[in-house]
Chain A
């Protein structure tokens, strides 16, 4: 199983601050997905990045896939309390396209 290391594990910031979450692996993924999970719910897909160097934006969220397709980052600009949640990255293995490997998650708390 390919490992995905996610950092930081916990992040508590004030409303209006910027933040970046990292997802790193020594292995190559065919795609990398970011999910957000709220308490008592299942993860919900935010974005999928496929091409090395790809950048996708979702309102104040910017997702980037590393050139070598081994790492990704999630940047949130001007965080709001509604951004609070558990953020998970997941990589689709190149050798077994259907299986996803998940990072440990980043618990983000945005304080008003």
Chain B
């Protein structure tokens, strides 16, 4: 099993550019989420989805869009990149509800730099 696959691993953007971070999982998990990780701040939730066609905002959603057309894929779009979006982005999936069903499987991350 590949688990959760994120692409690309590294990306440099200029301010104002847009891009899409790809995330795919092959575990048939209902729940998928995007986090950003900044030094000293742990993982902060950007957007999440509880199933195909359903998305919702997390703690830091501004500047990002998501969609969930299939169970497997959950892309994250940066609409107009800003230096404050320089971070490491992680996609995660889990089975869904219930204390142990929230156990998250993470991708390897995308290190994004906005100049």
Q: Is A112 an interface residue (CB 8 A)?
A: no
> Hey, what's the 0/1 contact readout for B66-85 against A, CB within 8 Å counting as 1?
00000000000000000000
Determine, out of A13-21, A41-49, A56-64, A75-83, the stretch whose residues face the partner at the interface: A41-49
Query: What count of chain B residues pass the 8 Å CB interface test?
Result: 31
Contact A41 B109, beta carbon cutoff 8 Å: yes
| B-side interface mostly | loop
Q: Check A98/B31 contact, CB under 8 A, given A33-B102, A48-B99, A50-B99.
A: yes
Contact B40 A9, beta carbon cutoff 8 Å: yes
Query: Which residues of A have CB within 8 Å of B4?
Result: 42
Q: Check A45/B42 contact, CB under 8 A, given A1-B59, A31-B99, A50-B99.
A: no
Query: What count of chain A residues pass the 8 Å CB interface test?
Result: 28
In the bound assembly, the distance between CA atoms of A17 and B105 in angstroms comes to: 30
Q: Is B34 an interface residue (CB 8 A)?
A: no
Which of A41, A42, A102 neighbours the largest number of chain B CB atoms within 10 Å of its CB?
Answer: A42
Contact A97 B102, beta carbon cutoff 8 Å: yes
Contact B103 A102, beta carbon cutoff 8 Å: no
Contact B97 A97, beta carbon cutoff 8 Å: yes
Q: Is B94 an interface residue (CB 8 A)?
A: yes
Q: Is A66 an interface residue (CB 8 A)?
A: no
Contact of B97 among A6, A33, A98, A103 (CB under 8 A): A98
Query: Which residues of B have CB within 8 Å of A88?
Result: 42-43
Contact of A42 among B41, B98, B109 (CB under 8 A): B109
Please provide the chain B residues from 30 to 75 with a CB less than 8 Å away from any CB of chain A in the complex.
31, 33, 35, 40-45, 48, 50, 58-59
| Chain A residues packing against B (C-beta within 8 Å) | 1, 4, 6, 9, 30-31, 33, 35, 40-45, 48, 50, 88, 90, 92, 97-105
- Extra contacts, 19 of them, besides A50-B99, A99-B48 (Cβ < 8 A), are A30-B99, A33-B103, A41-B109, A42-B107, A44-B106, A45-B103, A45-B105, A88-B42, A90-B43, A92-B99, A97-B96, A97-B101, A98-B48, A98-B96, A99-B58, A102-B35, A102-B43, A104-B41, A104-B42
| Chain B residues packing against A (C-beta within 8 Å) | 4, 31, 33, 35, 40-45, 48, 50, 58-59, 90, 92, 94, 96-109
